Amino acid sequence: MRWGMDVSGSFLLAGLLAIAACGSDAAPAARAPVVHAAGSSCAHGSGFALSLVSDRGGQPTPAAAAAWFARHGGLTGIPVEGWRQVSRSGSGSGATVESGAVTLHVIEGPDRTWQVDSGNRCL
């Protein structure tokens, strides 16, 4: 009986994930806290990490992805303007953008568009 309930729960979870994937190409599936790196100049703050439903359908630049996320990401306190890229990973698949006290990490999908996957706000 237990195995049957596990299988049913797995199908239910898979169905819910499929429905969520159909609803939005870039909708966050889950949030988790971000751990601040040692040596960070931000002693107090808050952070988030996202599980992206899709790795396609983002914005043309890291700064544009940050601005889009500010408008549509569902988090308060993310600036809509003033984004500037401050670093880019050596492989070219990730970048960091900042505006005011907010830092976002963006990733480049296989379609060469960018989406926010995590960030933090220094208080």
Give me the percent of the chain exceeding a pLDDT of 70.
66
- For 48-75, write each residue's pLDDT tens digit: 888 777 888 999 999 999 999 999 998 8
Q: Would you tell me how many other CB atoms lie within 10 Å of the CB of residue 27? A: 15
Distance between start and end Cα atoms, the chain: 50
What is the C-alpha separation between 46 and 69, in angstroms, rounded? 17
Domain residue spans of the chain: 24-122
What number is the average pLDDT over the span 28-37?
Answer: 39
Helix (H) or strand (E) holding 12: helix 2-23
* The token pair that represents 79 in the structure block: 């600036």
pTM: 0.64
User: What pLDDT is attached to residue 50?
Assistant: 80
- For 74-97, write each residue's pLDDT tens digit: 888 899 999 999 999 877 689 999
